[in-house]
Amino acid sequence: MKFKLCVCDLDGTILNSESRISQEDLKALLKLKEKGIKLVVATGRTELQIFEYLALLETDTPVITCNGGVIKYRGGGKVIHRSVFGPGSVEKIVNHCFENNIDFLLYTTNFVYHCPGSERIKFFIEYNKTAKPEYRVPIKCTDELPKDDPFGDVTKILIHDNVDMIPDLNSKFNADGSLTIVTSGKDLIDVMPSGTSKGNALVMAAKELDIPISEVIAFGDSPNDESMLKAAGFAVAMGNAKESIKKIADFVTKTNDEAGIAYALKKLVF
């Protein structure tokens, strides 16, 4: 099969269960460039949380972050797309979280903000303890949000709670369809502006790179990857993927702890 672009989810796909890239997968992903195939990372995380991985992968292509809410080149590079929340929508959800003692993070351009006592932020605090200074995630408490426009720069709200609350969130805050609410993992709910998806972002990234969708291969494992896998010319589900994701895939590879990306690339591309 002929592919010119490989789009990969990060957590549960490129990263193993220890949040690392296996040497076998890294070698295979770097080999893409040798074969003239471009690599795009597509993640629910903000760019602030993936600098180390982008450096290892030597990416020079647009990066899809916040589930497609932001598409831009690394660092201070060109911004291709940025989703924007409607007036007051972030504040309403944040107030709801505070009133109901719900753990949440706010992703912005320069910081990851956490509510006081957040359990989820501990994941990044632990990461920062061993990360090189240039890769550490810049963290602040919501008490430190800008006073003049506290929510104007928010690109995604991450709620750390039971995903069964998604219908309730849709009922309370998304009756007008102004939001996209999906799960990106166990007890993780991503709240973004309407129309935000990895699938839409893949189409925009492919257009930016002047590559036909038919020549795109995509890898994913979670419900927030579904739109991306459906949009790609060829879809690969990880062995650790949800069954619903495996059902829409053209190929199911090994798990993220078994170098599933390398296995699939050797079977399908190299």
CATH of the domain at 47: 3.40.50.1000
Tell whether 73 and 93 lie within a shared domain: no
What's the pLDDT score for residue 100? Answer: 97
Range of the domain at 116: 89-193
In the listed set 140, 158, 193, which residue is the last one of a domain according to the structure? 193
pLDDT, mean of residues 255-267: 98
In the listed set 193, 226, 259, which residue is the last one of a domain according to the structure? 193
CA neighbours closer than 13 Å in the CB half-sphere of residue 93: 31
Tell whether 187 and 200 lie within a shared domain: no
In the listed set 158, 193, 228, which residue is the last one of a domain according to the structure? 193
Tell whether 105 and 189 lie within a shared domain: yes
Number of separate domains in the chain: 2
pLDDT, mean of residues 235-248: 97
pLDDT category, 75, cuts 50, 70, 90? Answer: confident
Encode pLDDT of 170-185 as tens digits: 999 999 999 999 998 8
Tell whether 110 and 185 lie within a shared domain: yes
Give the type of residue at 71.
Answer: I
Tell whether 210 and 114 lie within a shared domain: no
Tell whether 221 and 257 lie within a shared domain: yes
Encode pLDDT of 20-48 as tens digits: 999 999 999 999 999 999 999 999 999 99
Tell whether 153 and 187 lie within a shared domain: yes
Check whether 1 has a pLDDT greater than 90. no
pLDDT category, 205, cuts 50, 70, 90? Answer: very high
- The residues that bridge with 145 in the sheet, in sequence order, are none
pLDDT > 90: what percent of the chain? 96
Q: Which of 11, 46, 7 is nearest to 185 (CA)?
A: 11
Average pLDDT value over all residues in the chain: 96
Specify the CATH number for the domain of residue 164: 3.30.1240.10
In terms of pTM, does the model score above 0.75?
A: yes
